[in-house]
Structure 1
Amino acid sequence: MLSDAITKHSLDTESGYPSPLYFEASPLGMDTLHTFPPLGSILRMTAKKCLNEVQRLLDGHQWVKLRMVTCGVQSGIWNIMFKSSSKIRLLSDEDEAVLLHKRNYNERMTSELHRRPLFYFRYPSCITEIDCRTVIDATLMDSLTSPEVMHRCKCIVRVVAAFPWRAKDLYSSVHGQYRLRLTLEDPTARVHAYISGEDGVKFFGRFSTHGELTRKMNKLLGIAEAADSAEGDRSPRNPPWVKCCLMSHYVEKGDPWQSRRYQIFGTKLVG
């Protein structure tokens, strides 16, 4: 879905300029996130002109048909942009197109298979293996809006960025363990997820060689095998859809929601 934005993003800038999770000035509040659907493609919309229909959208839930709008990339994330010629048509809840979309949405909500992203052609890549099959399937939006700050789930996502990403930097000699941050996305949201300690050993393998780590990370990030290692961070990338287990926790007891972090566990990169 975001392959063009991924291609233009340099992995070597992740240390100082991490891949954004949203393009708003500040993260959206939980009340706003709860208004988003938990599945399907969620695109932010920006309008540079004042439209009466836009204000009506802000006042409540309303089905609309957008005409003559464009999709563009802002901060590495696709969004819908209005032009001077853009139009919004308000639709009735009984409109035929609305009823069709409602029916399709409800069918997807009741099916574990159809809740998954539709972009990976039914089955995700086999480059990861998970051993958390007893935890719930969830989209990233499901997890972000969970009533419990501490929870576990398994997701189908793409890794759009990693820090560090080169094999020689994955293992921290100072801490004596693998330490890295992955930027995960699905059609509903993006999150940063961390790997460290025994989860890192599980993810990469206890005795992986430099060549094995390079090959595994290239596959995870969608870097072509023919890409030169010196230019790999700028080569075209198409990250595969993969399964992973996510654990949500907090780092500050006094402010659990604002200090929420994601950690990958129970996941092995087999590449």
Structure 2
Amino acid sequence: MQNPLPLMLEPAPLSRDILCTFPAVGTVLTMVIDQGQEKLGIKFIQCYRWMKFINIRFEVHAALWHAVLTPSSKLCYLPDDDYSVMHRQRIHEERIPTQYGRLPFTCFPWPSRITETSHPDVNSVTLMDVLTYPEVTYKFKCVVRVVALAPWRPEDFRSPSGVYRMQLTLEDPTARIHAFLFDTDGDKFFENCESVDALAKMRDVLLGVNRDPTGEYATRNPPWIQCCLKSYYLDSNDVWGSRTYGMFDTTCVC
């Protein structure tokens, strides 16, 4: 809770106008460019052009992948009729119309079965679809990973009055968001976990944590789960600025 995972590597959130220019499907990868890269002509890059980057290093910071240019990195423009460009466009166009077009490739053939939703026949969308949806309030179904939750201790999941109040950090290849699990939505989510021990087990399953023989946490690989999300606002005078997300109609079943 004192050191929450960031939602992005940028120092300030990107505006919704910028996010709306991003593709809704595919992996959004942040690239870090420092002052030593002037020779590449980064400041003169033209937007909306296909480019090829060579000799890029990938690193993980705050559990987020990002790309870093190196002294040997190179870049070049690609024409629209380049084979690799046409191949990727064809893959994208074939993927979008299908029922599974919004699912992360790494969850195929299907996400884990540790959660169920009340809307099994609704197609999934990406978190970028959620962030850029044209209406402030709406309901969605997504396939995501739970990469963090607060509070951490199962005995603190409920308030002293017995009401669930938690914040989950969710991610997919396109974005990362915070979603709240509150009150009756929490009751439904944890309806199969009544004891503190059961809640602790479910927490570990959601976060994909494994323990070593001494009981200490060793590795972590959160599973892909299905969930329903709703967007709503907290301030009627600033509906977009106060837009918030919550999980609902989702139940842990493992």
With the shorter chain as reference, the TM-score category is: over 0.9
Provide the rounded CA distance (Å) in 2 between the counterparts of 1:227 and 1:154: 37
- Which has more strand, going by share of residues? 2
**Paired letter, 1:217:** R
1:34-79 alpha-carbon deviations (Å, 9 max, x no partner): 111101111011111225542343x420111110110112333111
Equivalent pair of 2:40/2:74 in contact (CA under 8 Å): no
Structure-to-structure mapping, 1:121-140, within 5 angstroms: 121-133=108-120, 135-140=122-127
Query: Is the contact made by 1:167 and 1:214 (CA closer than 8 Å) also made in structure 2?
Result: yes
Aligned residue in 2 for 1:154? 141
Which residue does 2:3 correspond to in 1? 17
Stretches of structure 2 lacking an aligned partner (at least 5 in a row): none
The equivalent of 1:3 in structure 2 is none
Task: State the 1:133 CA deviation.
Answer: 3.6
Match of 2:38 in 1: 50
C-alpha separation in 2, matches of 1:206 and 1:158:
20
Moved over 6 A (4+): none
TM-score by length of 1: 0.88
Return the alpha-carbon distance in structure 2 between the equivalents of residues 53 and 64 of structure 1.
Answer: 13
| RMSD between superposed Cα atoms in Å | 1.7
CA deviations on 1:210-229 (whole Å, 9 max, x unpaired) are 22111111110101265766
Shift in alpha-carbon separation, 1:197–1:227, aligned structure 2, 3 A:
farther
Find the aligned partners of 2:63 and 2:241 in 1 and give their Cα distance: 23
What percentage of residue pairs aligned between the two structures are identical?
A: 40
2:233 pairs with 1:247? no
Contact 2:136 2:239 in 1 (8 A): yes
Q: Secondary structure of 1:26's partner? A: coil
- The 3-state SS of whatever aligns with 1:168 is helix
User: Unpaired segments of 5 or more residues in structure 1?
Assistant: 1-14
- The residue type equivalent to 1:54 in the other structure is I
Name the structure 2 match of 1:268.
251
- 2:146 and 2:170 in contact (8 A); partners too: yes
Give yes or no for contact 2:229–2:245 (8 Å, CA) kept in 1.
yes
Corresponding position of 2:207? 221
TM-score, with structure 2 as normaliser: 0.93
Residue among 63, 70, 75 paired with 1:88: 75
- 1 CA distance for matches of 2:60 and 2:112? 26
